[in-house]
Amino acid sequence: MPELPEVETIRRQLADRLPGRRIVAVSVRDPLLVAPLAPPDVAADLEGRTIVRVHRRGKYLLLRLDDGDDLAVHLRMTGRLHHSDAAPEEERFQRAVIGLDDGSHLTFSDQRRFGRLWRVPAGPAHWRGRVGVEPLGGAFTAARLAKLLEGRRAPVKASLLDQRLIAGIGNIYADEALFTARIHPRRTGGSLSPQEVRRLHRAIRASLRAGIAAGGASIDSYRDTLGRRGTMQDALRVHLHAGEPCRRCRAPIQKIRVAQRGTYLCPRCQPR
DNA sequence: CGACACTCCTGATGGC
DNA sequence: TGCCATCAGGAGTGTC
């Protein structure tokens, strides 16, 4: 599932190719993608606009339009964005095809139809309160993380997944970061020592950076904009490795459920 | 406000 | 082999 590293991989690819391109034709095949708006209205609204910049907020990909708004795209579980030089062939899970003035096409496809595409006003106001600090940005310090976790009684993993606190961490990188930091996912945020918070801070950034360097994790359906798989799935140390020996201590990796998510950990390296 | 359950979706999986 | 129930989960919403 696309998390920050996967969305960032897509962003970097599109940032090389989309700025300066004018949208000439929009075909929304699945009304759910743009609900509650109607596909023809969305098409008419976007056609003629020029994409000036490709940026990202957490897991939200943002295409800045020349009228000042952002076209926001969220891939959720199984969404994909594909950029092709020619018009794409019809495919079962195609939800929208955006034709650009150089003849290339941006295709949104999504098996499970959780993904969404919508227009938002540019700037931080829209995201304030909904999307928290960028974990790879300068504002995300160990002190900031400590403040976010201070007094929290929820499992620390639940807080890592809460997009209002930190933007872009999903189930994969939460598991990996907690393993690296040697913290049990069910520990409460408020129970972490300053040293543990520092370890977690470093581990979050290291895990996300590793994911970006690997071009994302293609566990299920994630592909980059050229249809290629990432390689981060091969570098995961606990996520999806239930029953296998821990790489650090050889104890069998456990799978438990935390915050309604399948959660992988080493019970010896990550004691409660 | 914080914590948590519920909901949306559909392909994959497991049991019988 | 076929059928059906269950599972997977990001984020928005509702409840206490």
Q: What is the pLDDT of residues A177-215, one digit of tens each?
A: 999 999 999 999 999 999 999 999 999 999 999 999 999
Q: Can you tell me the distance from the alpha carbon of A197 to that of A237, in angstroms, rounded to the nearest whole number?
A: 20
Q: How far is CA A109 from the centre of its chain?
A: 16
Q: Are A146 and A255 part of one and the same domain? A: yes
Q: Can you tell me the distance from the alpha carbon of A133 to that of A259, in angstroms, rounded to the nearest whole number?
A: 21
Q: Are A11 and A72 part of one and the same domain? A: yes
Q: Is residue A135 part of a domain?
A: no
Out of A92, A126, A160, a domain closes at: A126
Please indicate whether residue A196 is annotated as part of the active site: no
Residue A40 sits in a domain whose CATH number is 3.20.190.10
Q: Is residue A18 part of a domain?
A: yes
Q: Are A109 and A188 part of one and the same domain? A: no
Q: Is residue A132 part of a domain?
A: no
- Is residue A260 scored above 90 in pLDDT? no
From residue A93, alpha-carbon distances to A29, A80, A81, A113 in Å are 9, 10, 12, 9
Q: Are A79 and A155 part of one and the same domain? A: no
Per-residue buried b or exposed e for A153-189, using 16+ beta carbons within 10 Å of the residue's own CB: ebbbbbbbbbbebbbbbbbbbbbbbbbbbbbbbbbeb
The CA–C1' separation of A37 and C9, in angstroms, is 25
pTM: 0.95
Report the footprint of strand C: residues with C-beta closer than 7 angstroms: A 1, 3, 58-60, 74, 76-77, 112, 114, 130, 161, 163, 170-171, 257, 260-262
The CA–C1' separation of A195 and C9, in angstroms, is 31
Question: Six-digit token pair at A34?
Answer: 């743009």
Q: Are A214 and A246 part of one and the same domain? A: yes
Side chain identity at A271, as an amino acid letter? P
CB neighbours of A244 closer than 8 A, spacing ≥ 6?
A252, A253
Residues A39-47, mean pLDDT to the nearest whole number: 95
Q: Can you tell me the distance from the alpha carbon of A178 to that of A157, in angstroms, rounded to the nearest whole number?
A: 8
Q: Are A243 and A176 part of one and the same domain? A: yes
Out of A126, A153, A185, a domain closes at: A126
Q: Are A15 and A57 part of one and the same domain? A: yes
Q: Is residue A131 part of a domain?
A: no
Q: Is residue A270 part of a domain?
A: no
Please indicate whether residue A2 is annotated as part of the active site: yes
| A224-247 pLDDT per residue, tens | 999 999 999 899 999 999 889 999
Q: Is residue A231 part of a domain?
A: yes
DSSP-derived secondary structure letter, A207 = H
Q: Are A98 and A174 part of one and the same domain? A: no
Q: Are A113 and A12 part of one and the same domain? A: yes
Q: Which residue is nearest to nucleotide B10 (CA to C1')?
A: A112
- Is residue A220 scored above 80 in pLDDT? no
Range of A44's domain?
A: 4-126
Q: How confident is the model at residue A43 (pLDDT cuts 50, 70, 90)?
A: very high
Q: Can you tell me the distance from the alpha carbon of A120 to that of A128, in angstroms, rounded to the nearest whole number?
A: 13
Q: Are A149 and A241 part of one and the same domain? A: yes
The total domain count for chain A is: 2
| A110-165 pLDDT per residue, tens | 988 899 999 999 988 888 888 999 999 999 999 999 999 999 999 999 999 999 99
Q: Are A121 and A148 part of one and the same domain? A: no
Which ranges of A150-193 does DSSP label H, i.e. alpha helix?
156-161, 171-180
Question: Residue A55 region, left (φ>0) first, then alpha (ψ -120 to 50), else beta?
Answer: beta
Q: Can you tell me the distance from the alpha carbon of A236 to that of A173, in angstroms, rounded to the nearest whole number?
A: 9
CB A157 within 8 A of CB A261: yes
Q: Is residue A69 part of a domain?
A: yes
Residue A202 sits in a domain whose CATH number is 1.10.8.50
Per-residue buried b or exposed e for A26-51, using 16+ beta carbons within 10 Å of the residue's own CB: bebebeebbeeeebeebbebbeebbb
- Is residue A219 scored above 90 in pLDDT? no
Out of A75, A92, A126, a domain closes at: A126
Q: Is residue A133 part of a domain?
A: no
Q: Are A33 and A148 part of one and the same domain? A: no
Q: What strands, in cross-sheet order, belong to the sheet with A60-65? A: A51-57, A60-65, A69-74, A116-121
